[in-house]
A and B are shown apart, each in its own frame.
Chain A
Amino acid sequence: MRSGLTALGIIIGVASVVAMVAVGNGAQNRIESEVASLGQNLLSIFAGSRRTGGVSSGIGSASALTLADAEAVAREVTDVIQMSPEATTTAQAIANGRNTSTTIAGESPGYLKIRDWKLASGSMFDDKDVRSASKVAVIGSKTATDLFGPMNPIGQIVRVSNIPFVIIGLLESKGAGMGGQNQDDRIVVPYTTVMKRITGEKYLRCINVQISSSKRMDAAQEQITSLLRQRHRLSEGKDNDFNIFNQKEIADTVNNISKVITLLLGSIGGISLLVGGIGIMNIMLVSVTERTREIGIRIAVGAQPGDIRLQFLIEAITLSLLGGGIGVLAGIGASRIVGMVADFKPIVSTGSIILAFGVSTAIGVFFGFYPATKAAKLDPIDALRYE
């Protein structure tokens, strides 16, 4: 009973380490996959914010990026493997007697590849559609449901700014993006169509490029920056009139944050392990006092001081290992429960289990050592007389 309560300290400690690290890992994984859902090795070049009398009107508002810029980036930056100019606007879409306000994303055919996005059915428009500014659309799953319900949208007509588009493809659902907006609420059309037929703008909102490898991201970002500064004739000391959104940077930041969180959660568990260890020391000290007579007998019949120390050390380690074992099970159980409640899956790593076992053994040794040594040093005469 008392041993059980003592072991409880270790149980809670180990369980919280295992569970918290699992939750931390799970959260990290979830965030990573969210970042990855943006696409592979993505750099997005946004037109810079326009300043009017000290008021910044937000990214993409400046009219700075041109199609020529986009083509120059694709042509001159060595590590770019895909490029998709983007011209986006918001418009009312009408179809099937319903209407919805949605994002009209003007993209190139490479966009899906860059964003690592697949079609649920139908097909993507091609370069010919871009050249001719065709009135074809690929529709996001939420917009599809808003407009058509369960009906298959492919082949249907959707009217955007009074222009009829033929729906040729349906995107797979991707869920909420980094900013929290629903990525599935959009209609993707050729960028030329947006520029020529809907907005009449000559400027792009953004250029998405895919870089050959994550290692080349930073180098590519530098190349693009100097290329665009040159093209925009920005003299030294002047701010960029564009912003580059580096997926790797975001991913790194997010990773660092979640690592810190995992560490924080783990160290909370670590503190309870420490408290558990002190509990073990306490019970072992009580045990040594209570069993003074037994120790005296053992010494009298010829036990070496080392034998006595070993006996109590083994007891302390057994106690903490037992606690560790139960704690690991409890930790796995707790992370399962968290997994049911939260919208991500906690990952119980073997590493954290081994660590928990290792630490609880170490705690047994560390906190058992003093009581065990105390027992070994008892004077046999006093110990035998002890009541």
Chain B
Amino acid sequence: MHNTPVIQIKNLVKTYQTGGDIEVKAVRGINLDIQYGEFVAIMGASGSGKSTLMNMLGCLDQPTSGSFLLDGVDVAGLNRKQLAKVRNKKLGFVFQGFNLLSRTSALENVELPIFYSQPLVSLGEQRRRAVEALEKVGLGKRLGHHPNQLSGGQQQRIAIARALVNKPEVVLADEPTGNLDTRTSIEIMGFFQELNNSGITIVMVTHELDIAGYCKRIVVMRDGQIISDTINENRHIASQELAALDQAEHKAKLA
């Protein structure tokens, strides 16, 4: 279907100027191609540059040098307005802290990206698409709930629905399970696997090897460079892990 990668990065460099003349090289010349339909985990300790890379992938930050083609478009040269449009159309975000608007309902949270879409979408169509996305993540009955009335897992599912609602090319997840317990984490990873199976490209940042184990490809970074890029041979399948977890709990209860 697609001959070119969805993400093409060449010699990507990001340098920060911190206090005075000290330069911090957060990302030092990275080359990375990600094909349509991949499920990539970017791993690394803190300070490895993975968050910086993620910010650039998410078009929230501009590289100092190098090129970044997203879906065939060179993003490196775009201005704020154009970047906003790219984020709106081609990217979906899932954050560690969910980042939902607390004073608005689940439905309105999911409508948000469509609300900022151009050309404008009618209110009815906005609602229809948002409801559809929420149904996809199994929250079709909690449209009117506010984030603080829902569990962490449910909030993250709203965030996933929000990420999906504009049918993006890539879903970017930044430590999506960082604030969740083990069981909910596995459930969320199960969601990502289902989404990936349906053809959506997912790039996820995590520092947990367990979580990275659900991905198809694992990229490890250190000191701003990629030190390994491997295909995940023995991939965890969330549904099996959940079943195993259930069994373990069952045994624990019996004992």
Which residues of A line the B interface, CB within 8 A?
293-294, 296-307, 380-381, 384
* 30 residue pairs bridging A and B, Cβ less than 8 Å apart: A293-B99, A294-B101, A297-B100, A297-B112, A298-B112, A299-B84, A300-B58, A300-B93, A301-B88, A301-B93, A301-B112, A301-B116, A301-B162, A302-B84, A302-B87, A302-B88, A302-B89, A302-B166, A303-B88, A303-B116, A304-B81, A304-B84, A305-B80, A305-B81, A307-B116, A381-B55, A381-B60, A381-B61, A384-B60, A384-B95
- Quick check: B81 and A302 within 8 Å, CB to CB? no
- Is B190 an interface position by the 8 A CB rule? no
Smallest CB gap from A299: residue in B: B84
Q: Which residues of A contact B61 (CB under 8 A)?
A: 381
- Quick check: A302 and B117 within 8 Å, CB to CB? yes
- Is B85 an interface position by the 8 A CB rule? yes
How many positions in chain B have a CB within 8 Å of any CB in the partner chain?
22
- Is B49 an interface position by the 8 A CB rule? no
Q: Which residues of A contact B80 (CB under 8 A)?
A: 305
- Quick check: B95 and A298 within 8 Å, CB to CB? no
- Quick check: A303 and B55 within 8 Å, CB to CB? no
Q: Which residues of A contact B81 (CB under 8 A)?
A: 304-306
CA distance A280 to B32 in the complex (A): 49
- Quick check: A300 and B89 within 8 Å, CB to CB? no
Q: Which residues of B contact A380 (CB under 8 A)?
A: 60
Q: Which residues of B contact A307 (CB under 8 A)?
A: 116
- Quick check: A302 and B55 within 8 Å, CB to CB? no
Q: Which residues of A contact B63 (CB under 8 A)?
A: none
With contacts A294-B101, A297-B101, A306-B81 known, what are 9 further pairs, Cβ within 8 A?
A299-B84, A300-B99, A301-B87, A301-B116, A302-B87, A303-B116, A381-B55, A381-B61, A384-B60
CA distance A294 to B109 in the complex (A): 11
Q: Which residues of A contact B85 (CB under 8 A)?
A: 302, 304
In chain B, residues 96-129, which have Cβ atoms closer than 8 Å to a Cβ of chain A? Answer: 99-101, 112-113, 116-117
Q: Which residues of A contact B113 (CB under 8 A)?
A: 301-302
CA distance A293 to B98 in the complex (A): 11
- Quick check: A302 and B60 within 8 Å, CB to CB? no
Neighbour of A384 across the interface among B88, B99, B117, CB < 8 A:
B99
Q: Which residues of B contact A304 (CB under 8 A)?
A: 81, 84-85, 116
Smallest CB gap from B174: residue in A: A384
CA distance A293 to B60 in the complex (A): 14
Smallest CB gap from A377: residue in B: B80
Q: Which residues of A contact B117 (CB under 8 A)?
A: 302
CA distance A378 to B85 in the complex (A): 17
- Quick check: B95 and A302 within 8 Å, CB to CB? no
Shortest Cβ gap from B129 to chain A (Å): 14
Q: Main SS of the interface on chain A?
A: helix
- Quick check: A297 and B99 within 8 Å, CB to CB? yes
Shortest Cβ gap from A292 to chain B (Å): 12
Q: Which residues of A contact B162 (CB under 8 A)?
A: 301
Smallest CB gap from B100: residue in A: A297
CA distance A307 to B113 in the complex (A): 12
Q: By CB atoms of chain A within 10 A, which of B93, B116, B166 has the most?
A: B116
CA distance A300 to B89 in the complex (A): 11
Interface readout for B45-60 with A: 1 if CB under 8 Å, 0 if not? 0000000000100101
> Closest 4 CB pairs between A and B?
A302-B88, A301-B113, A303-B116, A302-B87
Q: Which residues of A contact B58 (CB under 8 A)?
A: 300
Smallest CB gap from B163: residue in A: A301
Interface readout for B15-55 with A: 1 if CB under 8 Å, 0 if not? 00000000000000000000000000000000000000001
Q: Which residues of A contact B87 (CB under 8 A)?
A: 300-302
Smallest CB gap from B99: residue in A: A297
Q: By CB atoms of chain B within 10 A, which of A298, A302, A307 has the most?
A: A302
- Quick check: A300 and B116 within 8 Å, CB to CB? no
Q: Which residues of B contact A306 (CB under 8 A)?
A: 81
Q: Which residues of B contact A297 (CB under 8 A)?
A: 99-101, 112
Q: Which residues of B contact A300 (CB under 8 A)?
A: 58, 60, 87, 93, 99
Q: Which residues of A contact B60 (CB under 8 A)?
A: 300, 380-381, 384
Q: Which residues of B contact A296 (CB under 8 A)?
A: 99
CA distance A294 to B103 in the complex (A): 10
Smallest CB gap from B113: residue in A: A301
- Quick check: B84 and A305 within 8 Å, CB to CB? yes
Q: Which residues of A contact B89 (CB under 8 A)?
A: 302
Q: Which residues of B contact A384 (CB under 8 A)?
A: 60, 95, 99
In chain B, residues 156-189, which have Cβ atoms closer than 8 Å to a Cβ of chain A? Answer: 162, 166
Q: Which residues of B contact A301 (CB under 8 A)?
A: 87-88, 93, 112-113, 116, 162
Smallest CB gap from B159: residue in A: A297
Shortest Cβ gap from B26 to chain A (Å): 12
Shortest Cβ gap from B226 to chain A (Å): 22
Smallest CB gap from A297: residue in B: B99
Q: Which residues of B contact A302 (CB under 8 A)?
A: 84-85, 87-89, 113, 116-117, 166
CA distance A303 to B80 in the complex (A): 10
CA distance A384 to B162 in the complex (A): 16
CA distance A108 to B99 in the complex (A): 91
CA distance A304 to B88 in the complex (A): 9
Shortest Cβ gap from B173 to chain A (Å): 13
Q: By CB atoms of chain B within 10 A, which of A293, A297, A299, A381 has the most?
A: A297
CA distance A384 to B96 in the complex (A): 11
Q: Which residues of A contact B116 (CB under 8 A)?
A: 298, 301-304, 307
- Quick check: A303 and B95 within 8 Å, CB to CB? no
In chain B, residues 69-93, which have Cβ atoms closer than 8 Å to a Cβ of chain A? Answer: 80-81, 84-85, 87-89, 93
Shortest Cβ gap from A315 to chain B (Å): 13
